[in-house]
Each structure stands twice: as C-alpha cells, then as structure tokens.
A and B are shown apart, each in its own frame.
Chain A
Amino acid sequence: MAESDNFSSTHSVQGTYADLILTNGRIYTQDPANPWAEAVAIRDGKLIAVASLGQIEMFKGPNTRVHDLQGAFCMPGLHDMHTHPDLALAPRYADDLDVGIEDPTPEQLRESILAYADSHPGDGWIYGQYWVRYTFREAGLTPGREWLDSVMPDRPVALLDRMWGTMMVNSKALELAGIDRHTSDPRNGYFERDELTGEPTGLMIDGAYAMIHAAMPPTPVSVLRRAYRDGVHFQSSRGVTASKYVHVCEQRLQALKELDDSGELTVRIEAAISWQDDIFPVRRRWELLAGERHYYRSARLSANAVKFHFDGTVEPKSSYLLTPWPQEKSWRGKLNLTPEHITDMVVDMDRKGIRVIAHCTGDGASDVFLDAVAEARRRNGFSGVRHQCAHSTLLHPGNLPRFKELNVIAEFSPAAWYPTPFASGARSGYGQERLKRIYDFKGVLAAGGTAVMGTDWPVASIDPWLALETMITRQNPWNDDPACFGDPISLEQALTVITSNGAVAMGLEHSTGSLQVGKSADLIVIDRDLFAAPARNYIHKTQVLLTFVEGQLVYDRHSTLETVGLKAVWQGEPPVLEGKAE
C-alpha cells in the first residue's frame, strides 16, 4: 500500500515523545531569548524542545531515535532568496542540435541540420548551435533565410553563431514568429533587413533572439524537472532549506510540482511568475495569477509571487539611476515599464496576496518601486504581503528607512559585492562614488529593515557559503587582496540575513528561520564552528553534514543516520553544477 498522507491539523493525534532527538551539539538557534542550545527534539516535523542535555531527556520515549552530534555545529537552514536553476541548467539538458564542430563549413552545417531532422522527425523546431560567418564568406555564400531555406524549407530552424551575436533563421521560423518587413525592431537588438525591400534577411541580432524564442514551444517539463531536481539536490547538500525561484511559467510550476509529488522537492520554494515575456514566454499568465497557481501549492511550494524586470544592468548602462551615469550629460538609464504601470500592478497584486519581486539595480528604479509600494499601502493598508526589491545594487540613502516603513524586503545578490576581475570591471561603470555604497546591507539593517541574500545563479555562484563569507568580508574569498567593496557586516548579522530574515522574506517567519519550540525543524549540521575562526577563506569552505526540512532528513553526507534507521533523500558529495567560480 502507498504511504498515507500525514498532515497535521487542530485535532490530529499527537504522540507524547519525540520522533528524533539530536543531542550533544553546539546549536546556534537564532532565537534571541535562547541563543545557544545543546539538543533539539523533533516530533511531526516540528521542534518540541530546543534545550540543554539534561532538559532533553524527558522527550525521549521508547520509539525515539537519538543521534549524537558529537559537538558538531547546528543552526537554522539557509535561505537563498533569488536564484535560477532552470535558466542555468535547462539549456544543458535540452536535446537541441549541436553541430559539434568549431567552425563548420556551410556544407557541414547542412549535413548536421539534415541529420538532426532525420533523427527528430516531424515538423517541430530545429534549434541549436553553432555556425560561423567566415566559413560562409569563404564559400562565397551569404548566411540567412535564403541559404537556410535551401537546406530546410518546411520546418522552422534557428541556429546561433559561435560568437553569440547572431541567430540565423529560415522563412518558416520568421513566419511562425510573425516577423516581416512591417515588424519593428526590439529595443535591445534588431533584425537585419534588405535595404531596399525591408524584408528580414533571417539574421537576428542580439535582443532580436527573443522574437524567435517567443514562437518556439516552451522548454519541455522533463528538461525543467531535471534542472530543478539537480538544483534542489545541490541546495539541500549545501544547507539551503528555503529558496525563491524567481521567474516561472506554467511549465516550470508543473516541473516543480512533479518533484514535490515524488518527494524530491527538498527545499521550500517560492516560485515567482514572470510578469514579462523577456526571458521566456509565459502562456496563461492571467489564469495562473487569477488563482490557478493554488493547484501547485504545498508546504514546500508556493507561487504567490510575481517577478518583473524594472530596469537593466550596469554593463550596457541600463540601470536606472537618480542622477546621470559617469561621463554622461543626461543619460540615467532605462525603466522597462512606466511608473504608472508598476503602481497599478503592485496595488492589484498586493490586494490578491501576491508578492511583487522587482528587479531594481539602479537607485532610481528602487525609488520608483518603493513609491509604488507606498501607494499600495495607502490604498490597501498593510496586506500582510512584503514585497521584495531584488538585487538592490544601488540604494539612495534616503530610501534605507523606507524598507522598514513600507515592509519591503531588500534583497542583495553577491554577483559583485566583493572584488573579482569581473566585478571590478563591470561594476566600476557606476563610478567610484556609487561603488562605495554598493549592496548596502549595513545601511538597510541599521535602519531596521529586512535584508536578505539571493545568489542569482547563474549570474553568480549558487553556493550560499560563498555569499555568507563575503557578506562579512566584502573581499575576494580566494586570495589575500585587501580590496573591499562596500561595507561589511558582522557574522551575527550575516547569519540573521541568511536564516531568519529569509524566513520573513518567504512569509514563513512563524514557522522557520530560527530554532524555537513550535517552529518547523528546518536545520543543518555542519563541519565547523562558524565562530571559531576569522570568516575569510574559512566560511566558504564549510561542508554540510545533515539537512532537515520539516523534520525530514533530506541530506546526509556520510549516511550517518542510517544507523538509527533514517535514510536521506540525498547522500554523498554535493553534485558539481558549476566550474570553480574563481
């Protein structure tokens, strides 16, 4: 017989004793009234005691499992409040055309397309990589729809070039995407046209890729499921118990639900539905937002959030600033949506109980976003929903107290909060004055606001320990370069950011984020005492030994608890998802 459901409600029957006791640990509880403990007792997924060795004995019954931590460091689980395992991994797992030659000749490319079509029969899209321009030029050919039509006239084809600047598509692809000489160019790219007729030549440049992607079928649920499965596997084995997957669609929610149903969603996930189609098209967005999202709901999965891109990024100077960019007379960057659009949207979502997560890198974007939340509070009162300012790369000093006043979460992503060759180059675009107050954890915390961390993988590493260490050092974690970006915070503050503040950002502050009686047993056991050595080059090397979510053992590095009859969902070394970040 299949395993029974075992939900708890007001009158469900409760045992007297603990199911599991973890004893003899150095337990950092994140509970100000009781900051350190030696043992915890867990029953029905909840903490029924966080206590000393002596006090814990009374919870031990005849069927209680007891595990001796042998002095190991135990703490609440980590919260990664902004990341994208699907965007990082799904492209690797998709069965797209891979020509597999460094610089294929047009003839080799033709053979590769035909072979793929043979092995993938039907009339579906042929999508893949790579071609190069110079082999066409050398062969006296012009890349574009005319050539591609001669190879494959009746199935849509889209191929990327090796330098990632151009996508070559055939006439069928253009037709399905509805692109002809009357179509306008996107803001962040263009499609090449015949100068005399205006007809598209089949070469899509930069941001014009999205026009083709919009016409393609969504990434299959099976591919997304594999990507999320590897994502939560990694996160559980690195001690993450709650995370936000920012940008989902119906397919992505389905993949997450399948993982949840199969018992493999080992991290509490808040999934934010994309407000725009700029990363992937979101079909049936309005049905999801109207209420269909509730079908995916469980203790592990919630889709009560939306995500939108408000401004751009530093590299193309599209972050929206309050004053002009360095060396510019008037250029302040760009907002993708009008302030009025955002205001009405925040007011509406807020009323529905949906959290709005706004990508704001420039201080101008977050200023407008906070204004929109202020208007929502004025019209709706406090709905109980805390909206989230994502990245918060630059914040105007006058906005620091507004995070507390308006109940808005300030989320910071570690992509460039410490010096690396990438960060130093890219972020220096903001100018020296702005760089000093970049990623201002300290300012938000000092003003009483809730600051959280989001790894934003694949923009930065998905490893939360790297983020934790560099919050405290704001220095390069791999060398002894004294350079420091922005203001560091203390270890205690950083632990608050990555545990209990994360729970607030999830709307789960009453059930997780600290080790307190009555809260869910979301906790981790690690291989070192975080307080025992200076943070630099120490914290990011932390190994996680055990991870529990809702009292369930989800990760057991050395399969230690098998001796008491508990088998974890994941065991062994964390999976390798990325190259060394250095």
Chain B
Amino acid sequence: MTSPRIAVTVVSGFLGAGKTTLLNRMVRRAEGSRLAVIVNDFGELNIDAAIVSEVTDAVYSLQNGCICCTVQEDLLAQLASLAQLEPRLERIVIECSGVSDPQRIVQTLAYPQLRSQMQLDMVITVVDATRHLQLDGEYARLARAQVAAADLLLLNKTDLVDEAQLQALRDALGARTRVHESVQAELPDALWLDTDLDLEPRAQKPLTRVSDGDHGEMFSSWLWQSNAALDVECLRGWLRALPSDVFRVKGLVLLTPGSTAHWLQHVGTRSQFLPALDDVRADATRLVFIARRGFDGWEALGQGLEDCTVKEVAGI
C-alpha cells in the first residue's frame, strides 16, 4: 500500500448505464480485501442472502469481508464513521445517484475532516453508448457534468452501436478524457485497483518495463527512477501533457526546493500530491506509468521527466 489513507472510488452515470453491473463486479473482485460499498438502493445490488453475514440498520456485512450501506443525507458523517471501522477499510466505493453531479461527492471528500483519513482515488463515469448522444435539456447538462467530473469514462454497451456511432461518441467525449470501452461494464483491475504497483528500485536504467501486457492483459506499465529532484512546475506541465493512453501515474517524487518527498497520484487529468516525509523509501523518485497496451511513447515520457530533473539542487 502506498498511502495510509483509505482509497475512495466514486462511480457515477445515468440510470441504466451499467453502474450496478460494475458495482457487482467490484464487490466480487474485492474478495478478501476490506471494501465498503455505499449504494443508493440495496435492491439494485445483486447481494443474495448467502453472502450477507450481518445486517444492522443500513449496513450489510458481507461474508467476503465487504460491507455495504446506502447513501444517507449526510455523506460527511457517514464517511467519517466508516473511517473508524476496525479492521480498517482499504477502499470505499460510492455509487452516485443517476441524476446527481459527482462533483458534490468529490467536494465532500476534500473536507479537512476526511482528508487525513481518505483520498479520492478516482471518479469513474459509466457512459451508455446507446443513449449518451440522445440526451437533451437538463439531462444532457447533467451528463456533461458527469463526464467532466470523471477521471475515467467507462464507455459501456459498445456492442450495441456501430463503428460510426462509436466514433461519434469518442469525438463527443473529447480528446482529453481517458476512455475505456466495454460491453458488460468490464473494468480491468489495473484501472481501479493499484495493489500490484511495484515500486522496488531497479538496476541502473532510469526506465524499466514492469509488465508488458502479456497474458491477455490490456495494459502495460513502466517504472521511471532517478536520484535527482524534479522541478514542480516542469512536472506539472509534463502531467498536463500526458497522452490519453496513459491512465495512471503513481509513485514517489522528490520535489524542489529541498528535495521534499511526495506521493504523486495522477489519474486521468487529475494530480494529487501528498507529503511522504516519513517514508523510508523516499530517497529517490520512482514513478510507475500504466498505459494502454501498444502505447509506444515510453521513451518520450522518460525524456520529459529527465528534462524536469534539477541535479544541482538534489540532496541539499
């Protein structure tokens, strides 16, 4: 684990887009890990009696270790009490109501009371390929808000539209957004779980391939390492310019001035920095990139980071 904070995944999207299918996959995938799911309505979720071990008020404890509760009016209080649970949760998934702007939940997560305990990992908006372009009026505005708040768009039901429609959707969703196309809300683990991020130092080379998308994986990842500190503004510029095939960047960075160590997490187009002063590994910059399989811009990305290093300042 790279951060002591509970990771929070926000799932948004219109009614019928495939949110529940995605949530069911997440609950199933979370076997053995400490996951809490906050949903709008239990009825929607496919939790059969066999996997429910305990029900108290609005909370279902599932036999695979997950818990599940409904969205109450005061999300702030609800999240604060989830943060107190022992053993500690690893991840909370919040399902937004189909007709809500996830920005509201994103803002709640940034409250000072919560910031020390949890961290927004990503906002996933499920987009219904068959209906997205037909929405109008207030619904169209809401859909734009949901798309704009997302770090990742799961373009779902792509089997139900033809190639021309698919291309129109890609164009409408914009070049800056990270889009993953699916049929039954399949979301590759690499896009929402980061348990296998490997930050071990590597031999010599600054840029090393960590996994190459073998075994049917759809993503490959690379590690970049350097003993030098990076210039903040230069790094931010590099992050802003990341190609949309790169879904995540995560790791430790030394930043000037003072070579202070930070955790960096970049998802979609959103970056978060957290101080990592006490971390024993915080003696160098080590960043892992995850990109779509077949992406060939690794060298350029490495060079971009190389250009941001401030060698004479490092170590002072």
Residues in A lying within 8 Å of B, measured CB to CB: 102-103, 132-135, 137-138, 140, 163, 165-166, 185, 189-190, 192, 195-196, 205-206, 315-317, 327-328, 331, 425-426, 429
B58→A137 contact, CB < 8 A: no
B104→A165 contact, CB < 8 A: yes
User: Which has the most chain B C-beta neighbours within 10 Å: A166, A196, A206?
Assistant: A196
**Chain B contacts for A103, CB-based, 8 A:** 141, 144
B216 at the interface (CB under 8 A from A): no
Among the listed A138, A192, A328, A331, which residue makes an inter-chain contact with B148, where contact means beta carbons less than 8 Å apart?
Answer: A138
Among the listed B58, B77, B104, which residue makes an inter-chain contact with A317, where contact means beta carbons less than 8 Å apart?
Answer: B77
- Count A-B pairs with CB separation below 8 Å: 60
B111→A315 contact, CB < 8 A: no
B81→A328 contact, CB < 8 A: yes
Among the listed B77, B148, B273, which residue makes an inter-chain contact with A137, where contact means beta carbons less than 8 Å apart?
Answer: B148
Within 8 A of A (CB), among B94-119: 101, 103-104, 107, 110-112
Which single residue of chain A is at the shortest CB-CB distance from B274? Answer: A195
A327→B58 contact, CB < 8 A: yes
**Chain A contacts for B273, CB-based, 8 A:** 195-196
B232→A140 contact, CB < 8 A: no
Among the listed B112, B145, B232, which residue makes an inter-chain contact with A190, where contact means beta carbons less than 8 Å apart?
Answer: B112
A132→B145 contact, CB < 8 A: yes
**Chain B contacts for A331, CB-based, 8 A:** 77
Within 8 A of A (CB), among B131-173: 141, 144-145, 147-149
Which single residue of chain A is at the shortest CB-CB distance from B141? Answer: A103
B76 at the interface (CB under 8 A from A): yes
Which single residue of chain B is at the shortest CB-CB distance from A426? Answer: B73
B262→A134 contact, CB < 8 A: no
B144→A134 contact, CB < 8 A: yes
B103→A192 contact, CB < 8 A: no
**Chain B contacts for A133, CB-based, 8 A:** 103, 145, 148-149
Give the CA-CA distance A140 to B149 in the complex, in Å. 12
- 4 further A-B pairs in the complex, CB-CB below 8 A; given A315-B74, A331-B77: A133-B145, A166-B107, A196-B232, A196-B262
B101→A317 contact, CB < 8 A: no
**Chain A contacts for B274, CB-based, 8 A:** 195
> 4 shortest A-B CB distances, which residue pairs?
A134-B148, A137-B148, A195-B273, A134-B145
Give the CA-CA distance A328 to B77 in the complex, in Å. 10
B176→A140 contact, CB < 8 A: yes
Interchain nearest-CB distance for A389 vs B (Å): 25
B174 at the interface (CB under 8 A from A): yes
Among the listed B81, B103, B112, which residue makes an inter-chain contact with A165, where contact means beta carbons less than 8 Å apart?
Answer: B103
B272 at the interface (CB under 8 A from A): yes
Give the CA-CA distance A192 to B112 in the complex, in Å. 10
B255 at the interface (CB under 8 A from A): yes
Which single residue of chain B is at the shortest CB-CB distance from A164? Answer: B104
Give the CA-CA distance A328 to B57 in the complex, in Å. 11
Give the CA-CA distance A138 to B175 in the complex, in Å. 10
Which single residue of chain B is at the shortest CB-CB distance from A161? Answer: B103
Given contacts A163-B103, A196-B255, A317-B74, contact A134 B149 (CB under 8 A): yes
Interchain nearest-CB distance for B270 vs A (Å): 10
**Chain B contacts for A102, CB-based, 8 A:** 141
**Chain B contacts for A205, CB-based, 8 A:** 107, 110-111
Given contacts A132-B145, A138-B148, A185-B112, contact A195 B272 (CB under 8 A): yes
User: Which has the most chain B C-beta neighbours within 10 Å: A135, A137, A190, A327?
Assistant: A137
* A/B interface sample: 6 pairs, CB < 8 A: A137-B148, A165-B104, A190-B111, A331-B77, A426-B73, A429-B73
Give the CA-CA distance A151 to B103 in the complex, in Å. 25
Give the CA-CA distance A137 to B262 in the complex, in Å. 26
**Chain A contacts for B272, CB-based, 8 A:** 195
**Chain A contacts for B147, CB-based, 8 A:** 134
Interchain nearest-CB distance for B4 vs A (Å): 16
**Chain A contacts for B101, CB-based, 8 A:** 163
Give the CA-CA distance A188 to B64 in the complex, in Å. 36
Among the listed A135, A315, A328, which residue makes an inter-chain contact with B73, where contact means beta carbons less than 8 Å apart?
Answer: A315
Given contacts A132-B145, A185-B112, contact A316 B77 (CB under 8 A): yes
**Chain B contacts for A166, CB-based, 8 A:** 107
Give the CA-CA distance A133 to B176 in the complex, in Å. 16
**Chain B contacts for A134, CB-based, 8 A:** 141, 144-145, 147-149
**Chain A contacts for B145, CB-based, 8 A:** 132-134
Among the listed A138, A140, A317, which residue makes an inter-chain contact with B144, where contact means beta carbons less than 8 Å apart?
Answer: A138
Which single residue of chain B is at the shortest CB-CB distance from A325? Answer: B77
Give the CA-CA distance A328 to B59 in the complex, in Å. 13
Give the CA-CA distance A192 to B77 in the complex, in Å. 20
Binary interface encoding of chain B residues 251-280 relative to chain A, with 1 for a CB under 8 A from any of its CBs, else 0: 000010000001000000000111000000
Give the CA-CA distance A137 to B106 in the complex, in Å. 15
Interchain nearest-CB distance for B65 vs A (Å): 22
**Chain A contacts for B58, CB-based, 8 A:** 327
Interchain nearest-CB distance for A431 vs B (Å): 11
**Chain A contacts for B111, CB-based, 8 A:** 189-190, 205
Which single residue of chain A is at the shortest CB-CB distance from B144? Answer: A134
Give the CA-CA distance A103 to B140 in the complex, in Å. 11
Give the CA-CA distance A166 to B101 in the complex, in Å. 13
B174→A138 contact, CB < 8 A: yes
**Chain B contacts for A190, CB-based, 8 A:** 110-112
B76→A316 contact, CB < 8 A: yes
**Chain B contacts for A196, CB-based, 8 A:** 232, 255, 262, 273
